Structure 1
Amino acid sequence: MKDEIKQRIQAVLRFLSGEKPESICASMGRSRSWLYKWISRYDEKNSSWCENRPTVLSHATNRTPLEIEEITKMIRLNLYNQDLFCGAQAILWELEDLGIKPLPSLRTINRILSRNELTHRRTGKYEPKGTPYPKLPAFLPNQTHQMDMVGPCYLTGPIRFYGLNTIDAATARCGLHSSPSKSGEDILDGTWAIWTRLGIPDNLQVDNALSFFGSPKYPRATSQFIRLCLHHGVELWFVPMSEPWRNGLIEQFNDHYQQKFLNKVIMTTAEELRVGTLAFEQRHNSKYRYSKLGGKTPLKALAATQAQLRFPNHEEVPRQRLEKPEVGRYHLVRLIRSDLKLNIFGEQFSVPPELKLEYVVATIDVKEQRLKLFLDKTQVDEFAYRMR
């Protein structure tokens, strides 16, 4: 028993000195629930805090056990101090991973946070600067998806991989795919696999990574990714360069993906990665609750809309090389700076002075072979754009 007490004291002191809970538990062979239990009991004014307490039956059968409440508080503080998601949903996932029983509801966790004044939100949220920005509609399922490539990431081994992550802006459903590279073929395979589960979107928003648009050496040569979208009636939107927050939903989800999946699930093989990725996708879509969805999970939000989704034909799995499309259009949102230049994947076009410091939409019309420039849905200029 003395060794047990010494271990409790040592664990708490290491935590108070700033050591991460994961490191403490790994070195001592203990669970995080054990660590949080003794952290919650620590009292510098009472030397008996580390000793066992007699079991006392509670008369309030509907009250959350004190120990679970203390663990909830410590988890919230630990997540907040690491600059991670620290809301009720994130805490519930932590409690679930720790094997805490009975597991409190989201409402109970919110009550615990509220009565302990642990509802403070971080500052620093992006505030618009006043220049109007063209936003895509996100009222119906698959009206707009946001996609991003994460990586390179590494498994224990090590095995290097890239994560292609997608989120539906209306329902917050996610689609994930892990691949060994970010080549054009892997992008096609990943996008196709995600569409078979989420459905095909009307609009797909991405950043300006080479994996998506191709090569700056040949800006008018449509990449295989652009061709895939055009062949399936998807309008592709490239956000302004150096403005990742314009793809804010998927950027925020990537943090969640890193925190709740890559940092917590031990995987050593490509097959474990594949299975784990699909399991995390299903867990998120079926269990994660969003306040913007009225407390519904993404799948519940989808069911409530009764929307009819469009899925790809399994007989049309894309193979390199896709034919050059004859119709369709894709868009680039760009901020026109003081040099009055429009940058289309490295190619420069001069624009009128009245567009200075305005966000414009440059639409490439494949059928007409024209580049059309729009400001607030009004066409303000047009260029010949012969595609390769």
Structure 2
Amino acid sequence: MDEEVLRAERERAVHLLRSGHKVSQVAQIMGRSERWVRKWRKRFEEEGWEGLKSRSRRPHHLAHQLPDGVRQAILETRSELEAEAAKGEGLKFMGSAAIRTRLKEKGIKPLPSRRSIERVLHQAGMTRPRRNPDSEETNYPRLQPDRPHTLVQVDIYPRHLQGGQPVACFNALDVVSRYPVCRAYPRRRSQDAADFLGHVWMTLGVPRYTQMDNEACFSGGSRHPCVLGRVVRLALMAGTEPVFSPVRHPQSQGAVERFHSTYARHVWEDTFLANLSQVNEKAEAFVQRYIRRPHPQLGERTPEQIHKSQPARDLPAHFPKLSRPLSERLPLYAGRVHFIRKVNEEGQVKVLNQEWAVPEAAVGQGVWVTLTLSPQGAYLEVFDAAPDAPRRRRLVRHPFPVKEPIQPQPSPATSSPLIAILARLWNLLQAPIAALFPARCLGGSSTC
């Protein structure tokens, strides 16, 4: 209602009161409550006619209002980070977490919360508009696991330490049991990815499928065609089938992507971590609490209970020790490697840096590509559905060039943990035995 109309109404109420009408009578005449009449009578008695003006409902002091200097520092810091990102300097982080870290380094007090920073940026129009999702979203095939040890998703969550050093936080999650594994590394190299995956398989057991995105540390790079990188070879040695998600489609890794936010809230939020040791210590403490807490999507059972309800597969004996540097080129073992891809306008899919024709697929169709490796050779097949689908159709099959021998997977008997332990014990005891018993004694000489 207009301010002039409101003030005229209040003035009339005062006129009626001063002419001798009672509060109840004025309320009835004005169509207002008696409380309203008393309020404006008191205001008039204390302040006169000026007291009948409307007052701002904004409190005189806002507990959460930031000082002007802090607001200016937030906007200035955001501008600095944008400029650094445009010039290729720094980490290209410019969100509330990065701004808060920079403000602390500048000694800004009081240090605002991330929510306050986001509110200031929004009010100043310095936030990036959200992208509208593609109206023609591709329907990609995906696995539908119903028991633990079937599918583990792996992804990298980039963060930075207090001093600005970048950190690659590798996170893995069994999508059925919700059992996570977290470990941070200074970079995202193939040896870092290999070390983390070995740690995942030792912790969770070897799953049927290990899904990851197409970053070079996982895929082996984007230069040479038909090259199988270190992580793929390591996965085949472990006995798991690597699955590479669609390019630039994080929704295909929805379980671990959602876990990132939980991980960030408990490990990184409202804290400043100075080194990798602090990150990993805090992450491990969080994981231990997380796996023992009832999960709402697990029927109030814990991730640990669900994960241990099914037997896990151990790493085979021939799997390399990751405490030692891996050889430049690991042997290639038999197995399967999967890729989720979209058919391009030429009717092709790009897998391992090479285009493969899929004549029976529609342009824009999501397909499942499987590379099968065996000692007899290798071939690449394209399907319209994931391997666990009730029905699926093979669209095409191509021979795949391999220029090295493919090792068969060792039988369970030769790769059992007991055999491996006995073999290691024998290797350790050979030197002491040779020192105690010379070669002629071991040969059965009568002089011993």
TM-score range, shorter chain: 0.5 to 0.7
Question: Deviations along 1:41-71, whole A, 9 cap, x unmatched?
Answer: xxxxxxxxxxxxxxxxxxxxxxxxxxxxxxx
Give the one of 317, 323, 331 matched to 2:321.
317
Change (3 A) 1:302 1:188: same
Cα distance, 1:239 vs. partner?
1.4
Tell me, yes or no, if the aligned pair for 1:222 and 1:387 is still in contact at 8 Å. Answer: no
Q: Is the 2:184–2:279 contact (alpha carbons within 8 Å) kept by the matching residues of 1?
A: yes
Residue aligned with 2:349, SS: strand
- Name the structure 1 match of 2:397: 382
- Partner SS for 1:369: strand
What is the match of residue 272 of structure 1? 278
Partner secondary structure for residue 332 of structure 2: coil
Letter in 2 for 1:284: Y
Inter-partner Cα distance in structure 2 for 1:340 and 1:383: 15
TM-superposed deviation, 1:313: 5.8
Q: Distance in 2 between matches of 1:199 and 1:11?
A: 51
- Cα distance in 2, alignment partners of residues 29 and 132 from structure 1: 45
Alignment of 1:346 with 2:346, yes or no, is no
Equivalence map 1:38-117=2 (5 Å): none
Q: Does the CA contact (< 8 Å) of 1:238 and 1:332 recur in 2?
A: yes
2:414 aligned partner: none
- How far residue 269 of structure 1 moved from its aligned partner, in angstroms, is 2.4
Instruction: Summarize deviations over 1:74-117 as a string: whole Å, max 9, x none.
Output: xxx99x999xxxxxxxxxxxxxxxxxxxxxxxxxxxxxxxxxxx
Evaluate the alpha carbon distance shift between residue 302 and residue 340 of structure 1 in structure 2; reply closer, same or farther with a 3 A threshold: same
Q: What's 2:180 paired with?
A: 174
**Aligned position for 2:63:** 11
Gaps of 5+ in 2: 1-59, 75-95, 121-130, 386-391, 404-448
TM norm structure 2? 0.57
- Structure 2: distance between partners of 1:237 and 1:282: 27
* Superposed displacement of residue 175, structure 1: 0.6
CA positional deviation for 1:381: 0.9
Q: Tell me by how many angstroms 1:254 deviates.
A: 1.4
Q: Out of 294, 302, 317, which is 1:297 matched to?
A: 302
What is the TM-score of this pair, normalised by structure 1?
0.65
Q: Which moved more, 1:125-134 or 1:155-164?
A: 125-134
Instruction: Flag the 1:129–1:170 CA change in 2: closer, same or farther, 3 A.
Output: farther
Query: Is contact 1:177–1:194 with CA below 8 Å preserved after alignment?
Result: no
1:215-250, CA deviations, whole angstroms, 9 ceiling, x for partnerless residues?
221131111100111111111111111211111111
Distance 1:183 1:350, change over 3 A: same
Distance 1:143 1:9, change over 3 A: same
Instruction: Output the amino acid matched with 1:383.
Output: H
Give the alignment of 1:156-305 within 5 angstroms.
Answer: 156-287=162-293, 289-303=294-308
> Which has more radius of gyration?
2
SS at match of 1:332: strand
Are the counterparts in 1 of residues 161 and 273 from structure 2 also a CA contact under 8 Å? Answer: yes
Instruction: Read off the aligned partner of 1:297 and give its amino acid letter.
Output: T
**Counterpart-to-counterpart distance in 2, 1:243 and 1:232:** 27
Partner of 1:86: none
What is the Cα deviation at residue 127 of structure 1?
Answer: 11
TM-aligned CA deviation for residue 260 of structure 1:
2.6
Give how far 1:270 is off.
Answer: 2.6
What residue number does 2:148 align with? 141
Aligned partner of residue 338 in structure 1, secondary structure:
coil
1:309 Cα deviation after fit = 1.2
Quote the Cα distance in structure 2 between the aligned partners of 1:279 and 1:267. 14
Equivalent position SS for 1:355: coil
- Contact kept in structure 1, 2:360 and 2:395, CA below 8 Å: no
How far apart are 1:126 and its partner, in Å?
8.2
Offset from partner CA, 1:162-207 (integer Å, 9 cap, x none): 1111011101111111111111111111111222222221101111
- Tell me if structure 2 keeps the 8 A contact 1:228–1:322: no
Deviates more, 1:267-276 or 1:159-168: 267-276
TM-superposed deviation, 1:355: 3.4
- The runs of 5 or more residues in structure 1 that have no matched partner are 1-7, 33-76, 83-123
Shift of 1:291: 2.5
- Higher mean displacement: 360-369 or 315-324: 315-324
1:366 aligns with 2:373: yes
Q: Distance in 2 between matches of 1:257 and 1:162?
A: 13
Q: 1:129 to 1:298 in 2, by over 3 A?
A: farther
Residue 11 and residue 372 in structure 1: after superposition, are their counterparts in 2 closer, same or farther (change >3 A)?
Answer: same
Equivalent-residue separation in structure 2 for 1:309 and 1:370 (angstroms)? 30
Tell me the amino acid that sits aligned with residue 384 of structure 1: P
* Maintained 8 Å contact 1:336/1:359: yes
Aligned letter for 1:138?
P
Partner of residue 113, structure 1: none
Percent identity at matched positions?
20
- Describe the SS at the equivalent of 2:355: strand
